[in-house]
Amino acid sequence: MMDYYATTKDQFAKLRPNWTWKIVPTPTDCILEIARDMAATIRACEKEKRPAVFIIPLGGGLNYGLLARYFNREGISWRKVVSINMDEHVTEDGKDIPLDDPICMRAAVQRGLIS
């Protein structure tokens, strides 16, 4: 299996030749790039009078507080955004993980994006 953290840009480029690549210096810069791309999509969808739809992975260290501060600072509303949040865990019997459990992704979104 490929180690994505040890993979070079050139190795990724061979796997995905049609993708555009941009290397950023820090994880924070990466999150801000994501925020700018999402903002552009939200604005384009607003002009087309349709909701923006994002599938958002909750794992991997995405800093929802930083995203929320960016959108608030830029005055970008999520009122017409549809967010499909991935990676939620359930208990062994298939029930939702309680919101006070540290691994609860719903709580992470509530704390970082919605609140």
Domains of the chain: 23-114 (3.40.50.1360)
Determine phi and psi for 114, rounding to 5 degrees.
-85, -40
Model pLDDT, residue 62: 64
Model pLDDT, residue 85: 74
Model pLDDT, residue 42: 97
DSSP state of 5: G
Instruction: Output the tens digit of pLDDT for each of the chain's 115 residues.
Output: 667 677 888 888 888 888 888 888 988 898 899 899 999 999 999 999 999 999 887 655 567 788 888 999 999 998 999 988 776 677 788 888 888 887 777 777 777 666 6
Model pLDDT, residue 35: 92
Model pLDDT, residue 114: 66
Model pLDDT, residue 108: 73
> What whole-number distance in Å separates Cα of residue 18 and Cα of residue 26?
24
Q: Is the pTM of this model over 0.85?
A: no
- Closest Cα partner for 90 from 98, 82, 100? 98
